[in-house]
Amino acid sequence: MTSVYAQRRARLAAQLGAGGIAIIPTAPERQRNRDTGYLYRHDSYFYYLTGFAEPNACLVLAADGTSVLFCQPKDLEREIWDGIRLGPEAAVATLGVSQAFSSAEIDTRLPRLLENRGRLWYPFATHEGLAVRVEGWLGQVRARVRFGALCPAEQGDLCTLLDEMRLVKDAHEQDIMRRAAAISAQAHIRAMQRSARMLRAGQEVREYHLDAELLHEFRQQGSQYVAYGSIVAAGANACVLHYQADKAPVHAGELVLIDAGCELDGYASDITRTFPADGRFTGPQRALYELVLDSQKAAVAATRAGARFNDPHDATVAVLAQGMLDLGLLDRKVYGNAQDVIEQRAFFQFYMHRTGHWLGMDVHDCGSYVEPSELGQSHERKDPLSGETITNRPSRILRPGMCTTIEPGIYVRPAAGVPEQFHNIGIRIEDDAIVTETGCELITRGVPVEPDEIEALMRD
């Protein structure tokens, strides 16, 4: 049976054009401090085509489907220290590539592979130093022109091809993402319940206590990594969008915002939940929470095949704008009606990010947000807040298998005219959605979003 990785290589090869050849390196190892490296994580493009997670590797793929892997050679001494290596001899059968060689041979073998090719593809601006190495390899090809060697006359950005392939997730990918989402959902539940349990017992709770619960569940369920640095933000810290889990105390009566997800087998999950630290919302907290939840429901309803990527964001903003007026966050006498709020972008004071992003092997996954067939259609507008001229292009048409987050929020910092009962409240609700023909599948609802369900969960 042909592996999903071999199928992807075949699909990519068919797009390289006659005489085309592609170079796809994996990520380098990076040093953390003296004699200690960061935990290694492969390059997503490379893994997408190989399923191979070792460092110091590179895939070369030709338009005829021939694939050559350069990887670490077997080395008994290094394997004692760093772990077993697959090695070139086993790579052909294990990974289904045509040939495999030691990575130490790449500078001598690769130039010969590039000879007489019409176009060279590699990922632009993603690997530091790669362009320089490519120039060195091409220089060796040019040195052989007197022997009849031809040098590739064209170069193309391989990301333009792979981004389109990765944007629609196949059944294999969707299955992994569902499992990653289920693990992350259980981790959020664990953190919620520990917060309430410790506060009820009169114990001191810190943000790092809740972060520990997330990490425990991720690893307990077999996740290899966090998908990104977890955000565990208590009280006013939730108004800092990229706040990292730290040591701030968690107090009864405050909200806690947790934005965290695991990575499983190369695929990310991304969940945000906001909950009362002691398990019970106050009146102002619930009012803002229900507004954000209503805006998310509107965004979910707008997420379906045939809709535009921007539609969920527009649906979110419409609900939030009206709610900000209704709750008094924005003064009707100053800002007018909801449409006025949207046109002036007055909502930006409390909601300053987009409602979603692509999700997949990377938590902010690759793929254009502009519809490729409509690139030439554009118009310019002046941003009412910054005065900057912005070029608008038609946003992406959603197709089944695309995966996006749906994550509206509201962040209320103390300011003149802002009702005091809402000060320092930050709320975000984020779920992961797989687009379907009739709507979307929310794969992260293993952790509840309804306020009554959250309170019931924390009582347990």
Give the residue numbers marked as catalytic: 35, 242, 259, 270, 353, 357, 364, 407, 411, 428, 430
- The amino acid sitting at 213 is E
Beta-carbon contacts of 321 under 8 Å, excluding residues fewer than 6 positions away, are 330, 338, 339, 341, 342, 346, 347
Nearest to 314 by CA among 329, 330, 328, 301: 301
Q: Is the distance from CB of 49 to CB of 32 less than 8 angstroms?
A: no
Query: How many CA atoms lie within 13 Å of 426's alpha carbon, on the beta-carbon side?
Result: 22
Laid out side by side, the sheet with 255-260 consists of 231-234, 255-260, 271-276
What's the rounded Cα separation, in Å, for the pair 10 and 64?
9
* Long-range CB contacts (within 8 A, 24+) of 239-242: 239/411, 239/412, 239/413, 239/424, 239/425, 239/426, 240/426, 241/352, 241/353, 241/411
Residue identified by tokens 């802002």 is: 418
Residue identified by tokens 């990310």 is: 268
Helix (H) or strand (E) holding 140: helix 130-142
Q: Is the distance from CB of 449 to CB of 273 less than 8 angstroms?
A: yes
Between strands 403-406 and 431-435, the pairing is: antiparallel
What's the rounded Cα separation, in Å, for the pair 348 and 428?
15
Question: Virtual CA dihedral for 288, 290, 295, 297, nearest 10 degrees?
Answer: 160
